[in-house]
A = this chain, B = another copy of it.
Amino acid sequence: MIFSACPAPILDHKTVVLGHGSGGKLTHQLIQKMIVPAFQNPILEAQHDGAILPMNGGRIAFSTDSYIVHPIFFPGGNIGDLAVNGTVNDLAMCGAKPQYLSASLIIEEGLPMDDLWQVLSSMRAAAERAGVTLVTGDTKVVDRGKGDKLFINTSGIGVVRADVNIDPTLAAPGDLILLSGSIASHGMAIMSVREGLEFETPIESDSAPLNSLVERMLEGGSIHVLRDPTRGGVASALNEIAEQSRVGIRIDESRIPIRADVQGACEILGLDPLYVANEGKLLAFVPPDQAERVLAAMRAHPQGTESTIIGEVVTDHPQIVVMRTRIGGNRIVDMLSGEQLPRIC
């Protein structure tokens, strides 16, 4: 109660701006200065994609995400399957086997019932694909102009095997950094629709569940860190891990796969694909003696055929991500500052 009397922490902004939702520096500042201090506990401070909790003698992972993507329908998916895949993936990134999901809808008055049905159907199909069950839910309606068609929160629970220990603080010098496929497809699918870019074939979101890929990887070898580079892209994910593990990271631009059409769309819109969201890709930090087997397990899985080693963890430049560029120079890859792609997920 004494805490309630504390003055608000001082941030760079006096009101919330869109950039606070971008997944970059401002989001980080908001979480570090407002959310974590407000709730202060070791589990939250771990800042994993989900929380790992003791439960009935075992361990479970628990994760939550609200989806506000605009538009709600886009090439390759809609807000419904995105919401299911996103929480399934957050649980998988904790090394958990996702089991149960909740779904909570905030509907803007006027949403056509047919649109709602299509979203719900996609959620069901995505849940079936990922092998999870939607067990509880909630429905709220807000007046026209006080929402934007549909927001969805999904929360999820998964079981963590006793022998698994995956955590963003565990990246260690020497670890190799594996990426499960080409980057930036989700963000560019959304941006292409919003900006009215026309391609011969529309860029499709990579929205997909990663839990069965992770299961195979865990059979392949031990893993230190897993992260799905969503909001803020690969660059923000790597910066977060470098910071939390207090290590340096080196990556090689030429090894990062990107589809030609996605690259083209990024160039047209002046966006750096390293900062663009993915919804069906993962980064894995793996000890060097395990990397070959984990990589083989990834490539043998339909979700990971394009998997590749993009870099390594180093003792130099702790908490800094450095990229060797295609033309041979070195560039610091900072965390996204401000707002690049609002409402991408």
Contact = CB atoms under 8 A, between A and B. Distances in A.
Interface string A84-116: 000000000000000110111111111111101
Given A68-B142, A139-B30, A116 B16 contact: yes
Contact of A21 (B15, B137, B139, B159): B139
A151 interface: yes
Nearest to A121: B4
Query: How many copies altogether?
Result: 2
Contact of A41 (B68, B134, B147): B134
A135 B100 contact: no
A190 to B, nearest CB: 14
A15 B110 contact: yes
B121 A55 contact: no
A326 interface: no
Interface stretch (A6-14, A163-171, A191-199, A278-286): A6-14
Contacts of A9: 117
Interface string A125-141: 10100000111111111
Interface size class of A (residues with CB under 8 A): 35 or more
Given A4-B121, A21-B139, A21-B140, A111 B56 contact: no
Interface in A152-178: 153, 155, 157, 159
B44 A122 contact: no
A185 B239 CA distance: 49
A269 interface: no
B15 A133 contact: no
Interface stretch (A31-39, A241-249, A329-337): A31-39
Contacts of A38: 117, 120-121, 123-124
A109 B64 contact: no
**Nearest 3 CB-CB pairs, A to B?**
A21-B141, A8-B117, A155-B155
25 contacts: A4-B124, A8-B114, A15-B110, A15-B112, A17-B141, A18-B143, A19-B141, A34-B113, A34-B116, A34-B117, A39-B120, A39-B137, A48-B136, A53-B99, A56-B60, A56-B159, A60-B157, A62-B136, A62-B157, A64-B138, A64-B155, A66-B151, A70-B146, A142-B151, A146-B148
